[in-house]
Amino acid sequence: MPSLTDGEIRRALKQVEQTGKQLSLIDGEGHGTGRLVLVMKPMPTRVTADWMAQQWRDQKRLKKKLGSYPSMSLSKAREVFSRDFADMIQKGRSIKIAGDTRPGTVADLFEAYVAHLKASGKSSWKEAEKGFNKIADTLGRNRPARDIEPDEITDLIRPIYDRGKRSMADHVRSYIRSAYSWGLKSEHDYRSASQRRFRLAYNPAAGIPTEPKKVGTRWLDEEEFLRLYRWLECPDTPVHPPYTRAVRILMLTGQRVEEIARLHVDQWDAKERIIDWSKTKNGKPHAIPVPEVAAELIESIKPNAHGWFFPSATDPTKPVSHGTLYSFMWRQREREVIPVVTNRDLRRTWKTLAGQAGLSKEIRDRIQNHTLQDVSSKSYDRWNYMPEKRAAMKKWNAFVRAMLSKKRAKAAGEKRAAINEEPAGEWAQHAA
């Protein structure tokens, strides 16, 4: 059968409109490669024309839609049929599983990886999406992902590193490496949500060295802990109240910033005084009994209409982000009204002071949801250790209360001494 022309298609459309009968036009011979068919159907107000790939398989006629005419032109339909269907039909495979065979672009790869993070419940997907958008603009979002070379990634990262933003440079390298690593694995992963295949040969970021990570050692001693805690109770500058409360809960429980910042009313068991997370950073459910001093603080907070204990100041429908808590603390550090401390330092502080209070390292690890790597813990031990956690938190609560009351008593004593000394000073001046 000869190839179709645009003139034949226009005449056939008029014929269907006049007769009201369905008509199919076949393009080319189609021996062994199936057929490209234009199916025209009369509708009450118009005539529809759809491009279909047609295949005879197991004595059945199979069809799959490519697009609609005229939005998909005759030449474009031929290109798509030849690219995505002809070879598959020749190999005897069903066209039902056919898809776009073009190698995915940089934008396709990054979007698919972000979708994977989101589907996996990773809270970092929004931050990753912002980073990938900037990276894609620089690398060229419409370029095939497989064409990106290691030198291009190095050229992208070097200016960031030269500006002194070493952590950011490492984040960019990590984003790209993770996306390509996922892309390589997703090629034959039936669980992948991405319909596009990337035909990646290797990971262009795999050979780029990372900046050696500096393991933090900073923690607050008792004096610094009290200094920060007292400032958070009564800040000397306007601060969104939920932010100071969130940091105090961090100090009292030693949990991850993201998990406390996103604390929802559904996660708080007021009767048992337990915070229960079904999903955490390490992918495992986690629950802790909070110390009495923290429970009293949580109970004094009224969650907003959306159920958040610590809502964002700009959007009450969302909880405060860990980045916002970090920047709020950073501004106060610059004013030198609180000790120099990061969010991770607070977690390290709890770990250290709780050890000082007499809590064993094992129970501190369990309270902080640190994954234990021994075979017994990973594969067999399913005990939740709630009684042990309660006993440990009771001991920690006594330590914190003693620390708070001791410093209060000291401050009150210093104030009384100052008052008692003042008249004597005045009398001495008059006597002179």
For residue 23, which of 89, 78, 4 has the smallest C-alpha distance? 4
Shared domain for 271 and 388, answered yes or no, is: yes
CATH at 280: 1.10.443.10
Residue 412, in any domain of the structure: no
Shared domain for 141 and 232, answered yes or no, is: no
Shared domain for 374 and 259, answered yes or no, is: yes
30 vs 331, residue with greater confidence: 331
Average pLDDT, the chain: 84
Shared domain for 85 and 114, answered yes or no, is: no
User: What local confidence, expressed as pLDDT, does residue 290 receive?
Assistant: 96
Question: Considering just the CA atoms, what is the radius of gyration of the chain in Å?
Answer: 33
Structurally, the chain folds into a number of domains equal to 3
State pLDDT tens for residues 301-316: 999 999 999 999 999 9
**Which range has the worst mean pLDDT, 238-247, 394-403, 423-432?**
423-432
User: What local confidence, expressed as pLDDT, does residue 320 receive?
Assistant: 92
- Dihedral sign for Cα 23, 24, 27, 29, please: negative
**pLDDT bucket at 329, cuts 50 / 70 / 90:** confident
Shared domain for 246 and 139, answered yes or no, is: no
Tokens 């000869």, residue located: 2
Residue 393, in any domain of the structure: yes
Shared domain for 244 and 317, answered yes or no, is: yes
C-alpha to C-alpha distance for 372 and 280, rounded to whole angstroms: 15
Strand ordering across the sheet containing 274-277: 268-269, 274-277, 286-289
Structure tokens given for 365: 């690890």
Tokens 């337990």, residue located: 274
> Do 49 and 13 touch, CB atoms closer than 8 A?
yes
- Amino acid identity of 87? D
C-alpha to C-alpha distance for 342 and 85, rounded to whole angstroms: 56
Task: Compute φ and ψ for 317, nearest 5 degrees.
Answer: -75, -10
Shared domain for 365 and 254, answered yes or no, is: yes
State pLDDT tens for residues 96-136: 666 655 678 899 899 999 998 988 878 788 889 999 999 99
CATH at 162: 1.10.150
Helix (H) or strand (E) holding 75: helix 74-81
Shared domain for 326 and 249, answered yes or no, is: yes
Shared domain for 337 and 300, answered yes or no, is: yes
CATH at 60: 3.30.160.390
Residue 201, in any domain of the structure: no
415 vs 172, residue with greater confidence: 172
Considering 71, 97, 123, which residue would you say is the last residue of a domain?
Answer: 97
Residue 214, in any domain of the structure: no
Per the structure, the complete domain to which residue 310 belongs is given by 222-403
User: What local confidence, expressed as pLDDT, does residue 80 receive?
Assistant: 85
Residue 368, in any domain of the structure: yes
Mean pLDDT, residues 411-417 taken together: 51
Residues 6+ apart with CB under 8 A from 22: 16, 39, 40, 41, 42
Considering 44, 65, 97, which residue would you say is the last residue of a domain?
Answer: 97
State pLDDT tens for residues 333-376: 778 888 988 888 999 999 999 999 999 999 999 999 887 666 56
Q: How many CB atoms lie within 10 A of CB 359?
A: 22
Shared domain for 232 and 320, answered yes or no, is: yes
User: What local confidence, expressed as pLDDT, does residue 130 receive?
Assistant: 92
pTM for this predicted structure: 0.63
Shared domain for 304 and 392, answered yes or no, is: yes
Which ranges of 149-221 does DSSP label H, i.e. alpha helix? 150-162, 166-186
Shared domain for 74 and 155, answered yes or no, is: no
